Amino acid sequence: MDHPYAENNVEAFTHDPEGHYFDRKSARKDTDEIAKHLMAFANAAGGKLVVGIEDDGTVTGFKRDGAHSIEAFEQAHVTALSPSPRVEAERLETVNDKGEDDQVLVMDVPCSENQVVRRRKDGKVALRQGDKSVWLDYEQIRSLEYDKGEYFFESEVLLDTSIEDVDREALDMYRRALGASVDDEKLLRSLGVLKDGHLTNAGMMLFGENAGFVLPQSRFRVLKIDGTEMGAGSNLRIVKDRTFEGPLVKAIPEARGFIASQLREYQFQVPGIMEFKTVPEYPEYPWFEGLVNAVTHRDYSIYGEYIRVYIFDDRMLIQSPGRLPGMVTLENIRHRRFSRNPIIARVFTAFDWVRELNEGVDKIYQEMGNAGLPEPEYINQDDYYLKLTLRNNLDERIPRLRSSFMRGECASDAEGSALQHGVQVPLDITTLATLSQNEIAAMRIAAEQGRVTTKELASKRGITTRTASTVLKGLAARSLLTWQGNSARDPRQYYEITPKKNSQ
């Protein structure tokens, strides 16, 4: 259970602050009140309730006038709640504030993983939020049901839709990713997003031609900020602002290309030779995985909000509406996996956008560390926004890298790892400065893999094959790349870096 109280100690319980995982109550509270707190812990991430200690920390035990029986509290989770959560109860011997031998009752409540716990007599639901146990309204209960996997928002049917609302290009993209040849209807039915002729919410978000109109919460927005703060009014510092509102299977690669185009790259000359390496502002994996995770796991039952990606000069912030799903907490987020939207996750896995075996978030940490960048920062602000912050740390990182290059070495293994993927091409600084982001990307792929194809560049940059072909032909015309192939229609044609001529 994810709470910080490993041992039961009465003295500690009298002064430890009440919070998300811990509460103390007087034995004069009735069983309904105690059951409410047990339910709230079970519906959240679990916790510990101590009965017999006042809110101010005074140990009053069970011998005070008006106290209920300890046996009634021990059975409260069975008699008052449905389904009954698991509760481990322990009586601790103590001395109360009157100097009498007495007891306090400690109840450990694990998280109810797959079911919402309700009050038996009327179905009301409480949830732990900070240091309070609060009653939920209908919409909040529904959201909790989605979190627990009792229901899935993505599986609900949109009665006013049909297969005619599908974007055929988007569906073809998924079909190619699967390597399948089945017809549209069979493909959608097998995925569970077409029921009785109607699209489900997941079907609309993934493949719907008007996804952003029918389900506005499926949109996401990317903003490039000039500086380290957004500003407001006449001082608003947004320089790029793009909203992606088409079917998700098309929006994700489009956003990938757009974000990449807004990030900076830094070139350094290798001492002694006219060769340059490019260091990206961020490795691609952390920010792309962060975006995909946000789209895959956000709470789509929250209307009127959508995912935002902010690109500041010193950091990137990915903000997603909703609390962490299921039993995922900030403490176990690197290794615990729970999919709030399993159908979306399944489709994204076909594109290799979602990682299996809990490796996705953990690899974000690894890639940032390998690049010599600060550790990712996750916060779940007021349980309403999950925020991932990636920092580029340029004030320290770039001077350090520049100094390392001047010495002809890498300052650390982490920085060396970060530079393994850099562009290593024979360019003078004047030529390098004239290259576009797409051209630099093409040169990097060719340097890393020994060759680059039109299809590969288009996929990496989120551009059309026609644009990719134009980029590669332009580099070849400048003798930076050399074309290899038997004919213009050769399916195995590729480009490689033009070798440097040895100086005499």
Crossing angle between the packed helical segments 342-350 and 168-178, to the nearest 10 degrees: 70
Q: Are 103 and 90 in contact (CB under 8 A)?
A: no
Most confident stretch, 266-270, 328-332, 415-419, 462-466: 462-466
Chain centroid to CA 1: 22
Calculate mean pLDDT across residues 32-45: 92
Query: Of the candidates 140, 163, 141, 63, which has an alpha carbon nearest to the alpha carbon of residue 104?
Result: 63
Q: What is the pLDDT of residues 123-172, one digit of tens each?
A: 999 999 888 999 998 888 887 887 777 777 888 999 999 999 999 999 99
Q: What is the pLDDT of residues 467-490, one digit of tens each?
A: 888 889 989 988 889 999 988 888
Q: Are 306 and 321 in contact (CB under 8 A)?
A: yes
Per DSSP, helices labelled H in 126-247 are 138-148, 168-178, 184-191, 201-207, 211-214
Question: Which parts of 362-403 are beta strand (E)?
Answer: 377-381, 385-391
Name the residue type at position 66: G
Amino acid 402: pLDDT:
55
3-state helix, strand, coil in the chain (%, to 5): 40, 20, 40
422 pLDDT higher than 80: no
Taking all residues of the chain, what is their mean pLDDT, rounded to a whole number? Answer: 83
CA–CA gap between residue 209 and residue 169 (Å, rounded): 9
Amino acid 255: pLDDT:
93
Task: Give the C-alpha distances (Å, rounded to integers) separating 309 from 52, 324, 446, 469.
Answer: 48, 18, 30, 30
Q: What is the pLDDT of residues 387-410, one digit of tens each?
A: 999 998 866 665 655 555 555 444
Calculate mean pLDDT across residues 232-237: 87
DSSP string, 394-408: HHHHHHHHHHHHHTT
3-class secondary structure, 360: helix
CA–CA gap between residue 48 and residue 106 (Å, rounded): 7
Q: Are 228 and 312 in contact (CB under 8 A)?
A: yes
Amino acid 23: pLDDT:
92
Q: What is the pLDDT of residues 160-174, one digit of tens each?
A: 999 999 999 999 999
- All structural domains of the chain, each given as residue ranges with its CATH number in brackets, are 10-136 (3.30.950), 148-419 (3.30.565.60), 423-497 (1.10.10.10)
Percent of the chain scored above 70 by pLDDT? 82
Q: Give the residue carrying structure tokens 């594109």.
A: 351
Task: Give the C-alpha distances (Å, rounded to integers) separating 188 from 175, 211, 367.
Answer: 10, 16, 35
CA–CA gap between residue 34 and residue 59 (Å, rounded): 17
Whole-prediction pTM: 0.59
Task: Produce one character per residue of 245-254: b if its CB has 16 or more CB atoms within 10 Å, e if not.
Answer: bbbbbbbbbe
Strand partners, 200: 157
For residue 274, give both structure tokens: 């006219």
